[in-house]
Homo-oligomer: A and B are copies of this chain.
Amino acid sequence: MKSRRTDLKKFLKTTTLLLMCSIFLAACGNLQDSTLSSGGGDSSKSTVQTTSSSDSSSYDVLLSNGKYKTSPISGLTAADNSNQFNSRSFESGLMKLSKKQFSTNSYVFQEGQVLSASTVNKWLARKSKKNPTGLNPASNGSTAPTKRTPMYLQQLLEEDYLQKQDGKYKLAGISIGVAMNKIDYYQKKQYGATYKTTITEAEQKEQGQRIAKEIVQRLRKEDKVGNIPIVVGLYSVAPEDTLVGGNYFQYSFSKSGELGSFKDLEYKSQMLPVVNGDTAISSSDSDAFSNFKTHIQDYFPNLSGVTAQAHYDGTDLKSLDVTINTQFDGLAQITSFTQFVQQSATKYLPSGADLDINIQTVDEQQAVVTRTNGKFYSHVYDAD
Binding site for B on A (CB under 8 A): 19, 21-32, 34, 36, 51, 53, 61, 63, 66-68, 70, 74, 87-89, 91-92, 95, 109, 111, 159, 298-301, 311, 318-319, 321, 328, 330-333, 335-337, 339-340, 342-343, 346-347, 354, 356, 358, 364-365, 368, 370, 375-384
Contact = CB atoms under 8 A, between A and B. Distances in A.
A76 to B, nearest CB: 13
Query: Which applies to chain A's interface (DSSP): helix, strand, loop or mixed?
Result: mixed
B299 A63 contact: yes
Given A342-B34, A356-B384, A330 B67 contact: no
Contacts of A29: 378
**What 4 A-B pairs come out closest when comparing CB atoms?**
A27-B383, A91-B331, A21-B339, A365-B365
A197 B34 CA distance: 52
Contact of A384 (B19, B321, B377): B321
Given A30-B376, A330-B70, A383-B92, A23 B335 contact: yes
B319 A384 contact: yes
Given A21-B340, A356-B381, 12 more contacts: A21-B336, A23-B335, A27-B383, A31-B339, A70-B328, A70-B330, A111-B332, A111-B333, A356-B382, A364-B365, A370-B379, A377-B377
A95 B23 contact: no
A29 to B, nearest CB: 7
Nearest to A62: B336
A92 B331 contact: yes
A32 B376 CA distance: 5
A301 to B, nearest CB: 7
A376 B29 CA distance: 10
Nearest to A364: B365
A333 B70 CA distance: 8
Contacts of A318: 384
B383 A343 contact: no
Nearest to A96: B384
A105 to B, nearest CB: 17
Contacts of A23: 332, 335-336, 339
